[in-house]
Structure 1
Amino acid sequence: MSYQFSFSFIEKYWPLLFDGTLATIRMSIIVTVLGFILGTLCAVASSSRHTSLRILVAIYVESIRNTPLLVQLFLVYFGLASLGLKYSAETSALIGLTINVGAYSSEIIRAGLQAIHPGQLEAADTLGLSRLQVLAGVMLPPALEKVYPALVSQYVLLMLATSVASQISAEELTGAASRIQSITFRSFEVYIVILGIYLALSFAMRGLFRLLGLLIFPRQRRLGTNL
């Protein structure tokens, strides 16, 4: 085998890799926040007394969870454009990824809400708390604490899934790698470097979420719970 490895391209193209990494981080942060908000709203709606609302959420969740992310991105990027709603590749990626992760977050948070002991809800009713007070003060905090590790895993997977956005020309890390390898013809070396960057981002993201969990949930801090 006469193939000679060469990583000399890094010296010339590191700004492109750096910009792609920043784009991936920015995209991940925005979609994580928006996806969490959307998922929480849908989880709450799925436990609503209104049947029509529960049906709408169920249709949304099942439609997203049972179709490929790439098709969803194509639908947002190309489909909306055909209707006259033209968005940039990055904006379309943010919309598509938010819709996708919102559905998965909804199911995770819903599981946490269903795990709340009925006695807590009965106690809240006895105190005369409103529906909003019960939700914000009694249900959501312990529910989120229960499912926090699962949410963290989902958002790390989301960060990795941003690579799919390169298929609609979004300038994130994988998109930058595609440009570099098309110029240098060093596909193996380029994607080895990208692999290392994604690994570093995954570990960094888990570490930051762990610190956030210890800050938000005092019980995790006392018990030393690990993600």
Structure 2
Amino acid sequence: MAYQMNFAPVMALAPQLFEGAFNTLILSGQSIVAGIAIGVVGAVGRTEGPRWLDRAIGAYVELFRNTPLLVQLFLIFFGLPYIGLRLSANAAAIIAVALNLGAYSTEILRAGLQAIPRTQIEAGLALGMSRLQVVRYVVIVPALRIIYPALTGQLTLTLLGSSIASAISATELTAAGARIESTTFRSLETFLCVAVIYIAMTFTFRFIYWLIGLLLFRRKAPPKPSLIADISEISRVGV
């Protein structure tokens, strides 16, 4: 006999799915803010810091980029109590996801910083731009333009990857779906709804990232555009 789809039991518990989606956004948002902060510090440390700092940050990056997020999550949630630090499921999930994102964003941001030639920075200073203007228009904006697609793609993966927090019963969308499935026994219908919500969140954030990209890179011009053109010219021949 063919399987009969029945979404009614799942829809009756839809508020639990919406609550789980909201909790996913909170968990992901906190993890992203912390992860980007870690990435900025790590990228600056690797490009501008001493050799020992570069190696220490590199070891952190390799550790978290070459182990599964699930293993990192388990080590934090189940391992830290052995040294007297017991965390809630949500706190452990935020820390694990943030450290994982921090490792990836460190390398993404470092690539952007290294893509800006030193001669271009020196040219900006030679043309009379202040250090703040050089950092803003010669370093940050061009570097962010270079790494923006990779960075926003990683942020989207972070949103989706937060679903792994359900493995330690963190209160997020996938965990909410698992609870509904165990109540209704409608596995296919439940996780189809979960998938639709994830798709809606993903496309919403991709649209937001696209709008931010328009605002940062297409509509906002520096106050002295001639200087930026001169910088490119001078940096090619040297200061």
1:103 and 1:13 map into 2 onto residues whose CA distance is 37
Question: What do the CA deviations read for 1:13-63 (whole angstroms, capped 9, x no partner)?
Answer: 111101100011111221122211111110111112400110011000000
| TM-score normalized by the length of structure 1 | 0.89
- State the distance in 2 between where 1:144 and 1:74 align: 33
Q: Where does residue 23 of structure 2 map in the other structure? A: 23
The answer to whether the Cα contact below 8 Å between 1:213 and 1:220 also exists between their aligned partners in 2 is no
2:73–2:92: 8 Å Cα contact kept in structure 1?
yes
Shift of 1:95: 0.5
8 Å CA contact 2:10–2:184 kept in 1: the answer is no
| Corresponding residue for residue 6 of structure 1 | 6
Distance 1:135 1:56 in 2: 26
Q: Is the 8 A contact 1:77 1:89 kept in 2?
A: yes
User: For the residues of structure 2 that align with 1:106 and 1:193, how far apart are their CA atoms?
Assistant: 34
Residue of structure 2 in register with 1:81 after alignment: 81
Larger CA deviation: 135-144 vs 59-68: 135-144
Matches within 5 A, 1:180-195: 180-195=180-195
Q: 1:185 to 1:175 in 2, by over 3 A?
A: same
1:68 maps to 68
CA RMSD in angstroms comes to 2.1
* Aligned CA distance change for structure 1 residues 106 and 49 (closer, same or farther; 3 Å): closer
1:149 corresponding residue in structure 2: 149
State the secondary structure of the residue aligned to 2:7: coil
- Cα offsets for 1:97-137 (capped at 9, x unmatched): 0000011111111111111133212225646966x886556
Aligned to 2:139: 139
- Assess if the C-alpha contact under 8 Å between 2:177 and 2:190 holds in 1: yes
- Corresponding position of 1:177: 177
TM-score, normalized by length of structure 2? 0.85
On the 8 A contact 2:28/2:162 being kept in 1, the answer is yes
Identity of aligned residues (%): 45
Is the partner of 2:59 in helix, strand or coil?
A: helix
Aligned to 2:215: 215
Distance 1:185 1:55, change over 3 A: same
Select the structure with the greater relative contact order (CA < 8 A; seq sep ≥ 6): 2
**Greater C-alpha Rg:** 2
Deviates more, 1:9-18 or 1:202-211: 9-18
Aligned to 1:224: none
